[in-house]
Amino acid sequence: MIRAFCRSDSPIDSILYKTMILESHPLPNSFTYTFLANACAKLPSPELGFQVHCHIVKSGVDMDTCVLNSLMCLYSSFGDVELARQVFDSCHNKDVVSYNTMIGVYGRGGCIVDALRTFKQMLDLDVWPDSFTFVSVLSLCSELDDARIGKAVHSLACQVLGSDGFNSHLAIGLIDMYSKCGIMELADLVFRTITDGKDVKAWSSMVSGNARCRKIEEAWKLFEDMSNKDLVAWTALIGGCCQSGRYKEALNFSEEMEQAGLRPDEVTIVTVLSACAQLDALGTGKKLHHYVEGNGLLGRNSRINTAIVDMYCKCGCIQTALDVFHGVDDTLKTVDLFNAIILGLAQHGLGEKAIAIFSEMESLGLVPDEITFVGILCACSHSGLVTEGKEIFDAMVEKYGISRQIEHYGCMVDLLGRGGLLNEAYSFIEKMPVKANSVILSALLRACRIHRNAKIGQLAQEHLLKLDPDYEECLLLSNLFSEDKKRDHAKKVRRIINYQRKRRPTFYSYIEWNSTVQQFSANDTCHAQAKEINVMLEEMSRQLGFSVYDNVTEQIQYDVCKEENGTIPSRHSEMVALAFGLINLGSVTPIKIVTNHRMSSDCHASFKLLSKIYNRVITVRDGIRFHQMEHGSCSCMDYW
């Protein structure tokens, strides 16, 4: 490629000529080429850089270490890791700058293992690292989330640099590494060693790390002690809350940031939008959308475009998400943006539309990745598009050369099971090159429940119980055997369910009300309206008990799911949220609930009936998809 630019009439000749006159040199030397290479790294196109490289080769200074280091930075700026590596290999007198540059090139290119291998090569050849080397390598450890290597690098830095070379820049790198690896004790120890004024980056790393470790109180105390609470610090606090699943706190902090008079940047906007998406905080999400539009960022910033589309998808506004998606210019659409809309369409059961969007992606020349295929296969599964799903699954390897992961196999089992092809689904599992996990087996079990196939259901049960059954999957099995009148077996399974309930983690459900997000847990007694909610739950229980089931299967399911004292099952978080919605929302206002786990079968059956009893549209977004209940039916057709 370099030879293609070796022509005497290139624009670089003029630049070189002017440079020689300014520097009073008869011929360009290594300093001239170093300057030119660094300048070309800032250009939008690598073409002039190729011409400089050509002149360097022709002039005979291509063995100069400084020149080659500059060339590596040139190619790194354009993301060309391979050419940077070729330049690095051609250098016979590699110094610490050479290795630092190559490690940085690999790090920015996501080639973390190659970067660490280069660091090891550097040590093996007795090229001693400096503080810049250690900071870069610590950043790699953060990316790997590998504190073991990070500790070893920390120890080596102490040996090589000593106390004199251990500057604040390196200390910040250590704090960031330990914080991202969740070892806050060591991060705090390093943090306390900084005596000459703690940099805002160090504070922000400590705040973010504590928040990610769910130590929100510690994070907030550190944040309050900061003398300069800038946007970086606020974003660290909000982002840490999001990464630890504390989305409600993230939104609260974002409101406080706004009250402090700070305007969010791209990173903050994307972070807060992700919290809105998780909590169904549509009001806050719309507010951010309008802010982005008003500041001219919509359509021009790919990360923000993706975050807005994802937020509307997860808040149940799929048409708005499509409008935003189609409003982005084709030249600015990315794989991440397509993934967001395809996954959203899958959650809403719009398989044919997802396939159309997938075709549009191909027409733009974008190459789908593993996430794309998870989304499109889920969309086919939720819409019963068996033939289309099979074709797409085959195309993954045959057309795109993408290796299948266990998630893709799980989608296929779900697809075949939904289509009633249970024998084929079971055979598919037996032939998979990976061992089936509980997700895949539970997908088969759900299919057996829907299609009332106790034989394959029994086989799925046996495999599932060998892994780590949770009560919800046992509940599916309980329903299956109840439908076959095997009451004794159902009672045994129910005992497993009750045992597993004691062991399962806390689940939460959320509902937006008066521009705030209300959070509920099972049997919640801490809410300000706990008494009113309890009265409503009792009323809901009575109404369900009086209700006449049109479907015999659901009547049996309800009987099996009842507790021993004859009431409905323990009050799951989504049931508590529904009671709150029935109390506080208008009599005709649709109720939207988000829950962070798969909706249980008993709650699903109860919600359908309650939508009919109270004549309400109830939408629930669980960990799998949207369920819109109306007049006693659900949009998922009882398959999820």
Q: Are 365 and 329 in contact (CB under 8 A)?
A: no
Q: Are 561 and 601 in contact (CB under 8 A)?
A: yes
Sequence spans of domains, the chain: 1-93, 507-634
Query: Cβ contacts of residue 579 below 8 Å, gap of 6+?
Result: 533, 536, 537, 540
Concatenated DSSP letters for 350-378?
A: -HHHHHHHHHHHHHTTPPP-HHHHHHHHH
Report, as ranges of residue numbers, the positions in the chain whose pLDDT lies below 70. 1-33, 35-39, 41-49, 55, 58-64, 165, 195-197, 468-506, 546-570, 639-640
Q: Are 593 and 628 in contact (CB under 8 A)?
A: no
CA 66 – CA 331 distance, rounded (Å):
38
pLDDT computed for residue 517 by the predictor: 85
CA 47 – CA 3 distance, rounded (Å):
12
- The H or E element spanning position 511 is strand 508-513
Q: Which pair of tokens denotes residue 329?
A: 């210019």
CA 140 – CA 108 distance, rounded (Å):
10
pLDDT computed for residue 467 by the predictor: 76
CA 275 – CA 244 distance, rounded (Å):
11
Q: How far, CA to CA in Å, does 93 sit from each of 105, 473, 550?
A: 19, 63, 83
Q: How far, CA to CA in Å, does 156 sit from each of 76, 127, 153, 460?
A: 27, 14, 5, 52
Residue corresponding to tokens 């359509």: 299
CA 451 – CA 479 distance, rounded (Å):
12
pLDDT computed for residue 555 by the predictor: 40
CA 57 – CA 39 distance, rounded (Å):
18
Q: Which pair of tokens denotes residue 354?
A: 């997802």
pLDDT, tens digit, 9 for 90 and up, residues 130-141: 989 999 999 999
Q: Are 278 and 247 in contact (CB under 8 A)?
A: yes
pLDDT computed for residue 216 by the predictor: 85
Task: Report which of 337, 333, 301 is spatially closest to residue 321, judged by C-alpha positions.
Answer: 337
CA 310 – CA 559 distance, rounded (Å):
39
Backbone angles phi, psi at 245, to 5 degrees: 80, 10
CA 618 – CA 254 distance, rounded (Å):
29
CA 476 – CA 442 distance, rounded (Å):
8
